[in-house]
A and B are shown apart, each in its own frame.
Chain A
Amino acid sequence: MIRIKRLSVASALLVASALAAAPLSFAAQTATEAIQARQKAMKGIDGAMESLVAIAKKQAPFDAAVVKKAGETIASHLTEAQGLFPAGSEKGDVQTWAKPTIWSDGAGFAAALKSSHEAATALAGVKEEAAFLPALKALGGSCKHCHETYRLPKR
């Protein structure tokens, strides 16, 4: 009697752990995907920044069309990024520098992404050269704020 009971408890545990493991591996996979996707989005922002920084450094002439395109690209990546930090994606199979504060301070992080998005949109609308540098500084400052607060220092 007792032996049978033990056996059933054991098998129940086995089934339970198998059930628990399934969503876990699923979550690990999606976490990795989320990390890779957001890193790709950040790379995209980096790429768009290059054309803007070239103007700031006076290595390229001010061109409202270039600024518009780059600003819109950054804004769309930031929109995308909003969905790429789901709960459970703190760690995955690839290295991430996301700070746990992203999830412990979700409202602050969302607000920071939103302000970056607004700065990128404002920059995309710049028509005059005089307004360019202040708009770029505002965007860069918002990137900086987020990286100071929500990203770990990396090698």
Chain B
Amino acid sequence: MSGPSRAKRAAVAAVVVATAGAAAFWLLTAPRPLAPSAIPAHTPDLANGELLFHAGSCISCHRPAKGTPGADPALPSGGAPFKTPVGTFYPQNLTPDDATGLGRWRPVDFVNAMTRGLSPSGRHYFPAFPYPSYRNVRTTDLLDLFGYLRSLPKVVSPERPPDVPFARVARRGVGLWDLLALRGPRFSPDPARDASWNRGAYLVAGIGHCGECHTPRNLLMVPERSRWLAGGPHPSGEGEVPSLRGLVARKRYKDAADLTLALQNGETFGYDRLSSGGMGEIQENLSLLPDADVRAIADYLVSLPQAPVDGAGAAPRPSR
């Protein structure tokens, strides 16, 4: 009796390889949420939550779509289209409505969403939602922001799935991308710098998520740490995002005080670089922060040398 034919063997081998590949994909992309016990007991500071809401420009993505009947554009009820090179997303409702918003979320659900890009049911969010930046935000700050969102009026606004090709497989595949993008240490303060600089660095790297646009991405769409805030093509595909390095050396701003005024006043004070490409709205949001926080952001940014750091040891912290 002869063994199985060659063709049969090949078919068996192909099935084995495909099964192993699928299993590996499944394991590697598995969501790994924090357990509720990992979240400390904390009474939310709603004023701090509101500050972070503005510092993160949350409203600018999570607003209702234009022309939604009865929608208050000041509330983050979600639904406005957010176009990216990958597809169009419809950021979700952040008001505390039970069925369509954050009403039934536990604090751990919010922390998992913000730091691990995971929904309460364990699905991966697409990184159009900038959780790789938000993982730099302290847990107590996240809980303050969560408390603030839960204090907003409830709006019914159901989630709309993104217009992304092969969304189901792509969504699971985000788990692979996360392995690359969520590597490395989170933000930690630099003891060699003063409090304002560290506050600015924290806001820029964390809730401000400035690097999402101002840091160029590699072919896998992962921000290049070695070119932190060095500018690049605009994510919309049109125009360019300016570098935030060497702002004084390149005569963009005179000093930190000048940049502070620019962030607070924008074109009202003739700073015409802060309007295009979506920055106009971000500037308006930043103008709502306390003076000291805007100054902190400016102190940090003007300290960045013009030449991006290259190669080894670059930017494990945003301080380099």
A-side interface residues toward B, CB under 8 Å? 46, 49-50, 52-53, 56-57, 97, 99, 136-137, 140-141, 143-144, 147-148, 151-155
Instruction: Determine the chain B residues whose CB is within 8 A of the CB of A53 once the complex forms.
Output: 269-270
Nearest A-chain residue to B239, judged by Cβ: A152
Contact with A along B274-295 (1 / 0, CB 8 A): 0111111100000000000000
Given known pairs A153-B240, A154-B242, the reply for A144 and B277 (CB within 8 Å) is no
| 18 A-B interface contacts by CB (under 8 A) | A53-B269, A56-B268, A99-B238, A140-B265, A140-B266, A140-B268, A144-B266, A144-B268, A147-B276, A148-B280, A151-B276, A152-B234, A152-B239, A153-B234, A153-B241, A153-B278, A154-B276, A155-B240
List 18 additional A-B contacts (Cβ < 8 Å) besides A49-B270, A147-B267: A52-B270, A53-B269, A56-B268, A57-B261, A97-B239, A137-B268, A140-B269, A143-B272, A144-B275, A147-B272, A147-B280, A148-B276, A148-B280, A151-B276, A154-B239, A154-B240, A154-B276, A155-B241
Contact residue among B265, B266, B269, B279 (Cβ-Cβ distance under 8 Å from A153)? B279
* Least Cβ–Cβ distance between A121 and chain B, in angstroms: 18
CB of A133, distance to nearest CB on chain B (Å): 9
Complex contacts, B265 vs chain A, CB 8 Å: 56, 140
Are A136 and B268 touching (Cβ within 8 A)?
yes
In the bound complex, CA of A99 to CA of B265 (Å) = 24
B231 in the interface (beta carbon within 8 A): yes
Q: For A50, what are the chain B residues with a Cβ–Cβ distance below 8 Å? A: 270
Instruction: For the complex formed, measure the closest distance between the CB of B210 and the CB atoms of chain A, giving whole angstroms.
Output: 14
B243 within 8 A of A: yes
Nearest A residue (CB) for B283 = A144
Q: B240 to A57, Cβ gap below 8 A?
A: no
B278 cross-chain contacts in A, Cβ below 8 A: 148, 153
Cα separation A3 to B126 with both chains bound (whole Å): 63
Residues of B within 8 A of A99 (CB): 238
Interface hits, B229-265 → A, CB 8 Å: 231, 234, 238-243, 261, 265
Q: Which of B231, B241, B243, B277 has the most CB of A within 10 A?
A: B277
The 7 closest A-B pairs by CB, nearest first: A153-B277, A152-B239, A140-B268, A147-B275, A144-B267, A49-B270, A153-B239
Q: Which of B265, B275, B277 has most A Cβ within 10 Å?
A: B275
CA distance A97 to B277 in the complex (A): 11
Task: Tell me how far the C-beta of B72 lies from the nearest C-beta in chain A, rounded to whole angstroms.
Answer: 22
Q: In the complex the two chains form, what is the Cα distance from A46 to B271 in whole Å?
A: 9
B267–A143 contact, CB under 8 A? yes
State in angstroms the CA–CA spacing of A140 and B265 once bound together.
9
CA A57 – CA B268 in complex, angstroms? 11
Question: Considering the chains assembled together, what is the distance between the CA atoms of A50 and B240 in angstroms?
Answer: 26
Bound-complex Cα distance A144 to B241 (A): 17
Report which of B266, B273, B276, B280 forms a contact with A152, defined as CB distance below 8 A. Answer: B276
Determine if A148 and B270 form an interchain contact, defined as CB atoms under 8 angstroms apart: no
Interchain CB contact under 8 A, A152 and B238: yes
Complex CA distance for A152 and B275, rounded to whole angstroms: 10
CA distance A134 to B12 in the complex (A): 77
CB contacts (< 8 Å) of A147 on chain B: these are: 267, 272, 275-276, 280
- A99-B238, A152-B238 in contact; A140/B276 too (CB < 8 A)? no
In the bound complex, CA of A101 to CA of B314 (Å):
40
CA distance A148 to B242 in the complex (A): 15
Q: Is the CB of B272 within 8 A of A46?
A: yes
Report B-chain residues with C-beta under 8 Å of the C-beta of A154: 239-240, 242, 273, 276
Residue from A52, A57, A97, A148 whose CB has the most chain B CB atoms within 10 Å: A148
Complex interface: chain B residues within 8 A of A137 (CB): 268
Q: How far is the CB of B15 from chain A (nearest CB, A)?
A: 50
- A153–B272 CB distance below 8 A: no
Complex CA–CA separation, A155 to B261 (angstroms): 20
Flag if B277 contacts A155 (CB, 8 Å).
no
Residue of A nearest to B243 (CB): A155
Are A57 and B269 neighbours in the complex by a CB distance under 8 Å? yes
Least distance between B230 CB and chain A CB atoms (Å): 10
Closest to B234 in A: A153
> Which residues from B are CB-within-8-Å of A144?
266-268, 275, 280
Residues of B near A141 (CB, < 8 A) are 267-268
0 or 1 for each of B188-225: is its CB under 8 Å from A? (1 = yes): 00000000000000000000000000000000000000
